[in-house]
Structure 1
């Protein structure tokens, strides 16, 4: 039985969430909190398996509440946020930075046509993230630890004439992409294209958060955009996103792949077929196997292929599926992924 604590200052939202979860035989709502202080107290007293957290609340908001919980009694937390206010979306990603695992849209009214999809998305999130092992986050007021140094791969082992880097991520991806970007140099010279599985409505906020927290330029592309050096292009909601031979963005409304649109598979496949041995594919943490077969295709075409290692992955589904196919040339932590991408940039 998955024991859930609901946190939201809206009684209507609490009732809707309770109705969604109480129908599931393996999920039990053990408490409801309407503000941050209540959430902190109930977390300590009830020890839930997972928390759904609102952002805008009186007193302690969802960001501060998440940070305090993760510093003292860490529990898997997913943010359940509105998508109509960009500032709220950006605050949701700051809560991710504080330790929340993912961001999801608040479900619409029960009679809304989109309700069933939103409810199914939240149920799957509860089942997925309740199993993630979380650790205490250090307080911002404590001096940071000196980061450990990891050896950089010898440049001669990765010297390739790479024109573009394609990345795919799902569960836990935003935090990992943030870490990779933070460890890239300011003069990084290659374009990157990312498919991040995410609840609809949050991609623009993801891009803003990544830019604000890392300084790396991000962009939600339009069809036909030419890829520019040193920019991370993030696939928009609802459209398969790919790359042409002349490094332009293409969109497709083809059927979902792995029940997803955009899919990592579509991005990786177009990159492999159109760019061949001049593409680097990076498959990061995530549930399922989206992109695994296509990472193998990139390798077969002579490109460079990397997966995130098991130790650093939130969920080893996508990288693990690629590993089982021998699709990856390297299995690395996010920091070492940054190192190898930096070497590619220096050689371009």
Structure 2
């Protein structure tokens, strides 16, 4: 039986970057570059003719930039888009996440010529990412979703009365649930955006988030989520005391655990299951420290990272939530948690935050 070839369209205005990307994809027998375009306008013309499985696009291009291009693709020819950008080196990652908001699935740093070891590592990572994206679910972007999202005001508790019930939380902190830990991979940034933007500013417990993301993009992700959320979103510091209404991500390339004094442990010990940070490391730590007073959430992503941690929380009497298949870009990690018996609730992404809010209300 012949293996299906993954057809790639590259939209890239740098001749050097285009050569590198074509060379990388040519090294895989499972991938074929069926077309290239130097800008979004030309790229849009090629899509109906070439019917690519995955589109790789840059952010900054003449005539039509990556953001406009992504919006047009998702409204007219929805398919997986991978943002391959040098913005990670230019400290412009905030704009990259606007493409994810517009419907792109994932981000990747633009490969450069340099050390062979770095090139080989990036080459394999990029090929693997394209293989994953070729099988993901995409959601059509409607015109009413492309409006600019303004940064929400972090209102005082007294003025936060406009949200409908059950999104209004009583001000007394919960005596039962102490922490919520969330893990995500492919499709995770968009899922995290959906959850965190629904949480009110007086959310009475801390949150921990582990997101698999390409090197260099973590700070941009955290800043993007913080700019749109009423809770505070930040990168954890070693030894930092957890605070209610704050969501913590581990520093790049570090695992995140919590000790018996509610303080962050950020370690660079070896990857677990190929991941650092590992979702499983964080969820298992939460299970040990908080037991039945913990909530574990596993969102869209490939593989099984976090599944055993969800089971550990469930066995300790905590609450566990897996994102459902219908709203997951990749129903891998949630499916593994469900198969292990580690998911008490299986919910669409829009229903997760309301459940979290209801569980910490008192």
Normalised by the size of structure 1, how large is the TM-score? 0.92
The number of residues matched between the two structures is: 336
| Pair 1:315 & 2:334 matched | no
For residue 141 of structure 1, report the CA deviation from its aligned partner: 8.3
| Pair 1:198 & 2:213 matched | yes
| Pair 1:66 & 2:66 matched | no
C-alpha distance in 2, partners of 1:164/1:142?
33
For residue 215 of structure 1, report the CA deviation from its aligned partner: 3.8
Q: Is the 8 A contact 1:287 1:318 kept in 2?
A: yes
Q: Is the 8 A contact 1:76 1:132 kept in 2?
A: yes
| Pair 1:84 & 2:99 matched | no
C-alpha distance in 1, partners of 2:203/2:324?
23
For residue 173 of structure 1, report the CA deviation from its aligned partner: 0.4
For residue 160 of structure 1, report the CA deviation from its aligned partner: 7.3
Correspondence 1:237-316 to 2 at 5 A: 237-316=252-331
SS at match of 1:242: strand
For residue 44 of structure 1, report the CA deviation from its aligned partner: 2.8
Q: Is the 8 A contact 2:102 2:146 kept in 1?
A: no
Write the deviation string for residues 35-71 of structure 1: whole angstroms up to 9, x where unpaired.
1111111123211111111001122111111111111
C-alpha distance in 2, partners of 1:73/1:335?
25
Write the deviation string for residues 193-218 of structure 1: whole angstroms up to 9, x where unpaired.
10000001001100111122334311
Q: Is the 8 A contact 1:71 1:136 kept in 2?
A: yes
Residue 234 of structure 1 corresponds to 249
C-alpha distance in 1, partners of 2:350/2:205?
17
Residue 31 of structure 1 corresponds to 35
Between 200-209 and 125-134, report the one with greater CA deviation.
125-134
C-alpha distance in 1, partners of 2:139/2:292?
40
Please, which runs of 5 or more residues in structure 2 have no aligned partner? 148-164
Residue 331 and residue 142 in structure 1: after superposition, are their counterparts in 2 closer, same or farther (change >3 A)? closer
Residue 236 of structure 2 corresponds to 221
Please, which runs of 5 or more residues in structure 1 have no aligned partner? 144-150
Write the deviation string for residues 212-244 of structure 1: whole angstroms up to 9, x where unpaired.
233431101110111111111112221111111
Give the alignment's Cα RMSD to 1 decimal: 2.1
Write the deviation string for residues 145-198 of structure 1: whole angstroms up to 9, x where unpaired.
xxxxxx97xx9xxx9711111110011000001001122223212110100000
C-alpha distance in 1, partners of 2:349/2:248?
19
For residue 110 of structure 1, report the CA deviation from its aligned partner: 5.0
Normalised by the size of structure 2, how large is the TM-score? 0.88
Q: Is the 8 A contact 1:196 1:235 kept in 2?
A: no
SS at match of 1:113: helix
Residue 141 and residue 104 in structure 1: after superposition, are their counterparts in 2 closer, same or farther (change >3 A)? closer
For residue 333 of structure 1, report the CA deviation from its aligned partner: 1.3
SS at match of 1:86: coil
